[in-house]
Amino acid sequence: MKRIVSLLMCLSMLMALMAGLTAAQAEEAITLHLWSGVQPEYGYQEMVDTYNELMKDKGIQFEYTRYVNNADGNLQLDTYLSAGGMVDVFIGYGGTGRLIPRVDSGVLLDMTDYLAAAGFDPVAELGEASVAQYVYKDRYWAVPTKYENQLYWFANVQMFEEAGIPLPLNGWTYAEYLDAVEKLTHGEGIDKVYGMYWNVVTMGDTTRNFMTAYNKPYGNYVDETCTATAFDQPEFIAALELIDKTMENGWAPSLEEEVADNLSLPTMYLEGKAAMTPAISQIRIIKDLETYPHDFTTAIIPAPVIEEADLAKYGKHDIYNGAGDLICVSSKTAYPQECMDFVLWYIMGGMAPLAKGGRIPLWKGFDPDAIVEAMTYGAEGVFDVDSIIAYMDVEKTRAAYALNMPNYAQSEIGTLFIEAYESVLYGQTDAETALKQLKTEADQLIQNAMAK
Amino acid sequence: MQSLPQAGLPACGPPPQRDFLCGGDPQDHIFYRVMKMQVNIKKRKNRLKAKNEVINFSFVLPSLLAMLCFSLGPMIISLYISLTDWNFIQGLGNWNFIGFSNFQSLWTDKWFVASLKNTVIYTVVTVPIGLILAVVLAVMIDRFCHSRMANGVRIAMYMPHICNIVATSAIWIALYSSYGPFTQMMRSLGWQNPPRFLANYDWALPAVMLVGVWSGLGYRVFIYSAAIQGLPADLYEAADIDGASGVQKFFRITVPLLRPTTFFLTITGIIGSFKVFGTVNVMTGGGPGYSTYTMVYYIYKTAFSYYRMGYASSVAVVLFIMLLIITIIQWKHNENRE
């Protein structure tokens, strides 16, 4: 009996050992990690699953992780990038403000030679205007993958029709905008419908982009040297005064209301309590009828410009390249070639499922009709298709500036910017005083940073 | 003279031949042998003591290592980092020594000055108010509540102290909203147009301070209640015989006797309020503007938004020095009492 028990034990141990060996062999497949700021259900998991199926035989598998694109989420990402190991490929946001410090700290892979070896010319494939801004030290550290012009806003088509206002698909002026926003505002108390919802709290970047619309792609700065800010320019002052005016007149919820009542895109625009809002990066939320049911149509319209004379030059905001979702590879990845293979696959077709979640691919090889079809798939009537086509057709060549922007206290200047426009919107001071003060303080920060 | 036999020791033998004073082997002498045994016992005791110390130390070692790794070590490193311009994203080791430059910059930095000022205001307001409310409530609970009910009240008051600060802050955000219960209560009390508390430059900090007082009240009441129950009853009986009123007893007996507890709560309250972060981060994010910046919030912002670890460490060092001074005062006070 003892012998039989011993024999059985030996057999079971042998089988366990063999199972372990088999598992070890299976684990030899390379697992790489993709990070992005969007929930997996908006096309990312489908995209990763497709790639994993394609690469099954080659033993390469990607795992998708969503990080939150805020200060805490980017801190988490930067920590992993510095330590190495948990991030191989990621989609970065925040433009050069976040890209350049990452390059300077050496956490990003220099993609230039890999792209050249694969015969992929970013300028030819994505457009010079889209790519140039992200060329730093004459090298490619990131490749933009998505078109998203933040100077385009959402508009409730039915509300515009009821107010008898034509959709300004070809641009409009501040005066026309103010006239419209007043007409669109009606009701009182809990039933009040606002002409505009700025969403300064959660979409502050978009509001700031509106204020810097004329100064793209230099943004906050006078020029590409980034040694002086441009906040005292009349265009900045006019934009801030416009925002303030809509809030003061009750045509938009005040900043106090936004903060105190925790207003958001779903509770304001999608509840039909505002006719317009700047939130182009949230196309996926507009389309998500299951979570945010609504029965009106959304058009994508350009933000207004100061006066008639600006319409021809800035009306369609083609000075803003709109290229975003920067795909990057960690310099600490053990498999740079495998990561670059994924990057190229992603850019040239792989990211197609994301169009269903509202992300418009930048690669010229995509069929625009297919993108529109994907964007409206499952959400017929939610978008005004003509406005989407007009939005995608914006000529972008004017935005071709190659910037090697230095990074002098950019984050701190961002904080000063927020404080300045908050002080105006809270009624503490006027736009001109606040922005002149902002320029003084920001320039001082730059001087301090340069002195170090 | 015959020497006396000692317990546990062999007899000495005839003294004339064996006495080392008289030319015998000194090592055989009773005094030498007693001394040798004492030395051996001492050595054995020392060995035992050392062994016990090693065993005791091995129990403490994990905590000690954790403290070294996660508390003392980072503290020392932080002291050094405060003298550098280290940026977090540049990775470990990319530290340029810049001396006291960070500390010099602090005093011209409007955000630091504001955070220091707000922290001091927060402390000066919340600690005394919290203590006064706590002692009054503790006495009232002790005096007017049935013992079973008193425990229930104390537990209910203690709950905010053990609740997650993020959860309680989120609840207070809702309470402070335009149509929230707190704002409505203010209206019903006759305040026609109460401000949006968290979105107002003048009211945001008081609103955060109110949450601080509320969340710390239960803990203080608990400590005061324990102290009150230990107060000698004969003093109150004597005061009753002398015809003292309730108020007189409170100010002449209770408050003086509670002085050690008050001192303890004052020191821990000051340290706690200097470290306030959670409520500010969740409820206001330092805003509007920088009207609710506190020192720890500014450390967090500088370190993890701007990645300026060197500068953030210098703020942390200033905070450390301030808390060290408070702790030394506490030590001195304890020494004086002893």
Nearest to A39 by CA among A390, A447, A451, A357: A357
What pLDDT score was predicted for residue A10? 57
Does the beta-carbon distance from B287 to A422 stay under 8 Å?
Answer: yes
Q: Which chain B residue lies closest to A408 (C-alpha atoms)?
A: B306
Q: Mind listing the pLDDT tens digit for each residue in A397-452? A: 665 554 556 678 888 888 999 999 999 999 999 999 999 999 999 999 999 888 87
CA–CA distance, A115 with A121 (Å, rounded to integer): 7
What pLDDT score was predicted for residue A148? 84
Nearest to A452 by CA among B84, B303, B309: B84
The total of other beta-carbon atoms located within 10 Å of residue A364's CB is 12
Q: Confidence class of residue A328 from pLDDT cuts 50, 70 and 90?
A: very high
What pLDDT score was predicted for residue A268? 95
Nearest to A153 by CA among A203, A201, A191: A203
Does the beta-carbon distance from B89 to A102 stay under 8 Å?
Answer: yes
Does the beta-carbon distance from B177 to A104 stay under 8 Å?
Answer: no
What pLDDT score was predicted for residue B113? 96
Q: Confidence class of residue A260 from pLDDT cuts 50, 70 and 90?
A: confident
What pLDDT score was predicted for residue A18? 59
Nearest to A208 by CA among A193, A224, A229: A229
Number of A to B CB contacts under 8 A, please give it. 73
Residue B291 has pLDDT above 50, yes or no: yes
CATH class of A152-319+408-451: alpha beta
What pLDDT score was predicted for residue A272? 95
Q: Mind listing the pLDDT tens digit for each residue in A263-319? A: 999 999 999 999 999 988 888 889 888 889 999 999 999 999 998 888 888 888 877
Q: Confidence class of residue B127 from pLDDT cuts 50, 70 and 90?
A: very high
- The answer to whether A444 faces chain B, any CB pair under 8 Å, is no
- The answer to whether A82 faces chain B, any CB pair under 8 Å, is yes
**HEC profile of chain A:** CHHHHHHHHHHHHHHHHHHHHHHHHHCCCEEEEEEECCCHHHCHHHHHHHHHHHCCCCCEEEEEEECCCCHHHHHHHHHHHHHCCCCCEEEECCHHHHHHHHHHCCCECCCHHHHHHCCCCHHHHHCHHHHHCCEECCEECCEEEEECCCCEEEEEHHHHHHCCCCCCCCCCEHHHHHHHHHHHCECCHHHCEECCCCCCCCCHHHHHHHHCHHHCCCCCECCCCCCCECCCCHHHHHHHHHHHHHHHCCCCCCHHHHHHCCCCHHHHCCCCCECEECCHHHHHHHHCCCCCCCCCCEEEEECCECCHHHHHHHCCCCCCCCEEEEEEEECCCCCHHHHHHHHHHHHHHHCHHHHHCCCEECCCCCCHHHHHHHHHCCCCCCECHHHHHHHHCCCCHHHCCCCCCCCCCHHHHHHHHHHHHHHHHCCCCCHHHHHHHHHHHHHHHHHHHHHC
What pLDDT score was predicted for residue A372? 84
Residues from chain B that touch A260, judged by Cβ atoms under 8 A, are 176-178, 196-199
Residues from chain A that touch B177, judged by Cβ atoms under 8 A, are 260-262
Between residues B103 and A370, which one has the greater pLDDT? B103
Neighbour-count burial of A52, counting CB atoms closer than 10 A to its CB (0-12 exposed, 13-18 middle, 19+ buried): middle
Residues from chain B that touch A415, judged by Cβ atoms under 8 A, are 301, 305
Q: Confidence class of residue B5 from pLDDT cuts 50, 70 and 90?
A: very low
Q: Confidence class of residue B8 from pLDDT cuts 50, 70 and 90?
A: very low
Would the CATH topology of A28-148+323-399 be identical to that of A152-319+408-451?
Answer: yes
Residues from chain B that touch A452, judged by Cβ atoms under 8 A, are 85, 98
Choice among A298-312, B43-57, B142-156, B268-282 with the minimum mean pLDDT: B142-156
CA–CA distance, B127 with B138 (Å, rounded to integer): 16
What pLDDT score was predicted for residue A367? 86
Residue B22 has pLDDT above 60, yes or no: no
Structural domain spans, chain A: 28-148+323-399, 152-319+408-451
- The answer to whether B97 faces chain A, any CB pair under 8 Å, is no
- The answer to whether A72 faces chain B, any CB pair under 8 Å, is yes
φ, ψ at A169 (rounded to 5°): -65, -25
Choice among A161-165, A191-195, B332-336 with the minimum mean pLDDT: B332-336
What pLDDT score was predicted for residue A377? 80
Choice among A221-225, B2-6, B243-247 with the minimum mean pLDDT: B2-6
Of A106, A426, A452, the CB nearest to B288: A426
- The answer to whether A78 faces chain B, any CB pair under 8 Å, is yes
What pLDDT score was predicted for residue B293? 96
Does the beta-carbon distance from A448 to B105 stay under 8 Å?
Answer: yes
Interface test with B, best of A80, A330, A331, A426 (most B CBs within 10 A): A426
Interface test with B, best of A256, A410, A445, A447 (most B CBs within 10 A): A256
- The answer to whether B289 faces chain A, any CB pair under 8 Å, is yes
Residue A11 has pLDDT above 80, yes or no: no
Whole-complex ipTM: 0.79
Q: Which residue has the tokens 């000075």?
A: A319
May I ask the CATH architecture of the domain A28-148+323-399?
Answer: 3-Layer(aba) Sandwich (3.40)
Q: Find the mean pLDDT for residues A168-197.
A: 94
